[in-house]
Amino acid sequence: MRQKKKETKGDRKETKERRQRRKEREREKKRKADRERKKREREKETEREKKKREKETERERKKETEKETERERKKETEKETERERKKKERQLTLGVSFFVFFLLAAAAAALGVSFLSPTKTKQHRHLLQCSPGTAPAAAAVLLLLRRHPAGGTQQTPTHALAPHKQQQQQQEQQQQQQE
């Protein structure tokens, strides 16, 4: 059998140093691997954070654009409702003014008073024909308000009056003829 070679003190020291160097190299490898691993983890983490921030900014942009479109839509509907309101207001004002005018004209005609001369009637005819629907009514009012050719006011025809008014008018005419 082979005998083990007796180690000398120097040999032992040398092997101990080799062992230490080997352990040191292994530790260095581990440290290096740890550093690399940590570096990769940090890179992954920063990448995740970056993606998260991008998603968040994208969400905020979408919300902002939605809010902006909503504001625009709201403004547009407000403008539209304002236009409609003004249109209705104009129609109502026009309708009320024509109604009042026709009431006054009818009252004047019933009383036999004419407040428009033939020349003024011709001058203001375009005012009475503001809209196509009012043209026939305006023509009727112009006929009612026309001055009598003899210079006096036009009398309302008897057939247009109520029965008791017809009798009154006939009596007045008879009295005038007798006088």
Write down the pLDDT at residue 39.
97
**Cα–Cα dist 27/125, whole Å:** 111
Q: Would residue 50 count as lying in a domain?
A: yes
- Condensed to tens digits (0 to 9), the pLDDT of residues 124-179 reads 555 444 455 555 565 666 665 554 444 444 455 545 545 666 677 778 878 877 76
**Cα–Cα dist 116/96, whole Å:** 21
Q: Would residue 29 count as lying in a domain?
A: yes
Q: Would residue 97 count as lying in a domain?
A: no
Write down the pLDDT at residue 169.
76
Rounded mean pLDDT, 64-84: 96
Is 30's pLDDT higher than 90? Answer: yes
For the record, the structure tokens of 25 come out as: 């190299």
Rounded mean pLDDT, 105-110: 72
Distance of CA 154 to the CA centre of its chain: 54
Write down the pLDDT at residue 101.
82
**AA identity, residue 49:** E
Q: Would residue 47 count as lying in a domain?
A: yes
Answer whether 0.85 is exceeded by the pTM: no
**Cα–Cα dist 85/104, whole Å:** 28
Q: Please give the mean pLDDT across all residues of the chain.
A: 77
What angle, 0 to 180 degrees and rounded to 10, lies between the N-to-C axes of helices 135-145 and 9-111? 30
Distances (CA, A) of 141 to 54, 56, 99, 116: 75, 72, 11, 11
Burial 63-90, CB ≥16 within 10 A → b, else e: eeeeeeeeeeeeeeeeeeeeeeeeeeee
Q: How many CB atoms neighbour CB 109 within 10 A?
A: 21
**Cα–Cα dist 145/100, whole Å:** 15
Q: Would residue 36 count as lying in a domain?
A: yes
Q: Would residue 46 count as lying in a domain?
A: yes
Per the structure, the complete domain to which residue 44 belongs is given by 22-90
What's the DSSP call for residue 172? H
For the record, the structure tokens of 113 come out as: 């008073």
Task: Please state the domain count of the chain.
Answer: 1
Q: Would residue 160 count as lying in a domain?
A: no
**Cα–Cα dist 32/24, whole Å:** 12
Q: Would residue 79 count as lying in a domain?
A: yes
Helix (H) or strand (E) holding 106: helix 9-111
- 58, HSE (Cβ side, Cα atoms, 13 Å): 6
